[in-house]
Chains A and B, each alone.
Chain A
Amino acid sequence: MGRTLAEKLWEGHLVRSAAGEPDLLYIDMHLIHEVTSPQAFEGLRLAGRGVRRPDLTLATEDHNVPTTDIFAPIADPVSRIQVETLRSNCAEFGITLYPMGDAEQGIVHVIGPQLGITQPGMTIVCGDSHTSTHGAFGALAFGIGTSQVEHVMATQTLPMDRPKTMAVTVNGELAPGVTPKDVILAVIAKTGTGGGQGYMVEYRGEAFEAMSMEGRMTVCNMSIEWGARAGMIAPDQTTFDYLKGRPHAPVGAEWDAAVEYWTTLRTDSDATFDAEVVLDAAEVSPFVTWGTNPGQGAPLSSRVPDPSEFAVESDRVAAEKALAYMGLQAGTPLRDITVDTVFVGSCTNGRIEDLRATAAVLKGHKVAAGVRMLVVPGSMRVKAQAESEGLDAIFIEAGAEWRQAGCSMCLGMNPDQLASGERSASTSNRNFEGRQGKGGRTHLVSPLVAAATAITGHLASPAEL
């Protein structure tokens, strides 16, 4: 019988497999950052172990780095200690690190792809939930915990029970102004935040095939937000075109051999998935969240839902709680919700295409009075590219703040935070209570909606301008 892409990737990395034990998977690339690595390194030291493959390990500083004055000492002592610890650990164990200020520094899930380090057919892990981003290349990529980080460092492998497989199929063509972010928000609203629990998900169909690599990354990035262990898209010509010529991409005869192999990485026509979800592209319109988890979303053209209309008791309770936290009334048109902050950035939507889309909307407009807009590039390369295209001038001209690369307001570990009661439209991936700052209220949106919202001061799409 045929095999799915996920099964091919899994079986292609089996170091050992025996009944009654988890499978042992080989890890092709281990990405690390300052927050989840210190205790793993410490564990190695305590046990007298080393890093087996420093050449398959890459470190960057991203989660809590400041995005303003990056050459001054970090003011927050906890963040500073984490960053300093990462630097000394990488030096001790011989690991490549892209520190703040380096031309290659950036969010871990942005720099892997842009360096050509993320390739089809690989296994990639990182101590961060959004590692599934790399699945956009037809790789098996997932987030891990600290003791697993240590396990990968010591052995370059990971014991894992094999998850089941699921297909999410979106056929048809997306309407103009509808972005990959809207698609994934619509998928999550349909399945619920736990719908992918225990699955490796493959996104399939014309809508995903038509997306750029960056759009596919946005989709795969949010797999964890509906519980999926991994999310992936089969590699195709779009993937190969994106990779060709990148610093770590194969060249010459190796490129040809690689493409030949990568072309085999697709689900066989007679393979079956353990579960399937189907959506029609024509049904998807600009989507925003109204609640405190990514599954609490609705089309921008609709209203804040009435909790009493939810059929399931737990959904109703969750919706009531969310509306109270968000300070929203049932029945309010989503377009009437005013914000005081707009954040464009993160590993979900902090890439060059996202910045281009944002700039195209902002050009010739001003950020509304009373609204603060932060544009934070996902990496220093994205920043340099944006500046070479003059996008920074458009942001600044419109009244937005143009920052250095990092996770920034995605998780509010650095000084970029919402104050209590403040409301944001954010291109990031999590709208949990307090995620962007204690008491802060987050609406997840696409870059297009973020830009239009900045101009109008309320949730809006560019079509309204």
Chain B
Amino acid sequence: MEKFTVHTGRAVPLRRSNVDTDQIIPAVYLKRVTRTGFEDALFQTWRANEPDFVLNQERFRGATVLVAGPDFGTGSSREHAVWALKDYGFKVVISPRFADIFRGNSLKAGLLTVMLAEKIVQRLLDDIEADPGTEVTIDLTERQVRWPGEVHGFELDDYTRWRLLEGLDDIGLTLRDTGSIDRFEDGRKSWLPRLATR
């Protein structure tokens, strides 16, 4: 997982609330066997059916921050939703509120989900719509979101922040302490089943 310290980029305004995981990535894409390459699946229904959908607008191309309405990521717990957002190029999603499971999945996978008060998100949406060139900075060291004329703190627990700053996914974290695993393995019962390896 890449380390996350400070990210600056342009943003896309997604003025919708209750964006559920089936909208983020429709179920038909879940049958794939790959882990990457889900960028085509992101918001596929909206991209295909709504010519004006924000991701279809030239002026927002190349943006790396998604700004959405409240209750982003509700619905079934598919991890693919986070993969699709990352594959498309998003580094951060900002919303007044996230569904718990989605938020857990995103922070584990290194996609920073930032909660700001609804009225602040509104101002951000207004500003990026007025000027799509607006650069938004998400500073994890300071736990701040900044854009011209605005500075706002956000909350994130110390443990998760540290994990993201260090670029440690759950596996990376566990692998920092393989000594404990080695020691545990030394004490396992001798009769426990083992399979032939090839």
Within 8 A of B (CB), among A73-127: 78, 81-82, 85, 91, 94-96, 116-117, 119, 121-122
Query: B33 near A146 (CB under 8 angstroms)?
Result: no
Number of A residues near B (Cβ < 8 Å) is 51
Measured CB to CB, the nearest residue on chain A to B173 is A159
Rounded to whole Å, the gap between the CB of B80 and the closest CB of chain A is 8
Binds A, one of B52-60, B64-72, B126-134, B174-182: B174-182
Q: In the bound complex, how far is the Cα of B196 from the Cα of A57, in angstroms?
A: 10
Query: B35 near A46 (CB under 8 angstroms)?
Result: yes
Scoring B178, B191, B194 by chain A CB atoms within 10 A of each residue's CB, the highest score goes to B191
Q: In the bound complex, how far is the Cα of B193 from the Cα of A55, in angstroms?
A: 9
Q: In the bound complex, how far is the Cα of B188 from the Cα of A26, in angstroms?
A: 10
Within 8 A of A (CB), among B89-134: 105, 108-109
Q: In the bound complex, how far is the Cα of B54 from the Cα of A143, in angstroms?
A: 38
B191: which A residues are within 8 A, CB to CB?
A: 250, 254-255, 257-258
Query: B35 near A54 (CB under 8 angstroms)?
Result: no
Query: B193 near A39 (CB under 8 angstroms)?
Result: no
Query: A28 near B34 (CB under 8 angstroms)?
Result: no
A261 partner, pick from B31, B177, B180, B189, beta carbons under 8 A: B189
Quick check: is B151 within 8 A (CB to CB) of the other chain?
no
Query: A91 near B198 (CB under 8 angstroms)?
Result: yes
B170: which A residues are within 8 A, CB to CB?
A: 147, 151, 159
Contact string, A22-50, partner B, CB cutoff 8 A, digits 1/0? 00101011000000001100110011010
B192 partner, pick from A47, A119, A150, beta carbons under 8 A: A119
Binds B, one of A13-21, A373-381, A397-405, A439-447: A13-21
Q: In the bound complex, how far is the Cα of B185 from the Cα of A275, in angstroms?
A: 33
Query: B33 near A39 (CB under 8 angstroms)?
Result: yes
A95: which B residues are within 8 A, CB to CB?
A: 195, 197-198
Query: A151 near B174 (CB under 8 angstroms)?
Result: yes
Rounded to whole Å, the gap between the CB of A65 and the closest CB of chain B is 16
Q: In the bound complex, how far is the Cα of B170 from the Cα of A145, in angstroms?
A: 14
Between A and B, how many residue pairs show CB distances below 8 Å?
101
Measured CB to CB, the nearest residue on chain B to A77 is B31
Known contacts A26-B181, A85-B33, A91-B198; is A248 also within 8 Å of B193 by CB?
yes
Measured CB to CB, the nearest residue on chain B to A37 is B33
The contact size tier of chain B is 20 to 34
Query: B194 near A39 (CB under 8 angstroms)?
Result: no
A254: which B residues are within 8 A, CB to CB?
A: 190-191
Scoring B33, B108, B178 by chain A CB atoms within 10 A of each residue's CB, the highest score goes to B33
B31: which A residues are within 8 A, CB to CB?
A: 78, 82
Query: A39 near B35 (CB under 8 angstroms)?
Result: yes
Q: In the bound complex, how far is the Cα of B189 from the Cα of A159, in angstroms?
A: 22
B175: which A residues are within 8 A, CB to CB?
A: 154-155
Q: In the bound complex, how far is the Cα of B9 from the Cα of A272, in angstroms?
A: 55
A54 partner, pick from B173, B180, B181, B197, beta carbons under 8 A: B197
Quick check: is A360 within 8 A (CB to CB) of the other chain?
no
Scoring A15, A21, A38, A154 by chain B CB atoms within 10 A of each residue's CB, the highest score goes to A15
A85: which B residues are within 8 A, CB to CB?
A: 33
A24: which B residues are within 8 A, CB to CB?
A: 174, 180
Q: In the bound complex, how far is the Cα of B194 from the Cα of A54, in angstroms?
A: 9
Q: In the bound complex, how far is the Cα of B189 from the Cα of A255, in angstroms?
A: 11
Q: In the bound complex, how far is the Cα of B198 from the Cα of A438, in angstroms?
A: 41
A159: which B residues are within 8 A, CB to CB?
A: 170, 173-174
Query: B174 near A58 (CB under 8 angstroms)?
Result: no
Q: Which residues of B contact A (CB under 8 A)?
A: 31, 33-36, 77, 79, 105, 108-109, 159, 170-171, 173-175, 177-178, 180-181, 184-185, 188-198
What are 6 A-B contacts with C-beta separation under 8 Å? A26-B181, A29-B193, A39-B35, A43-B35, A94-B198, A145-B79
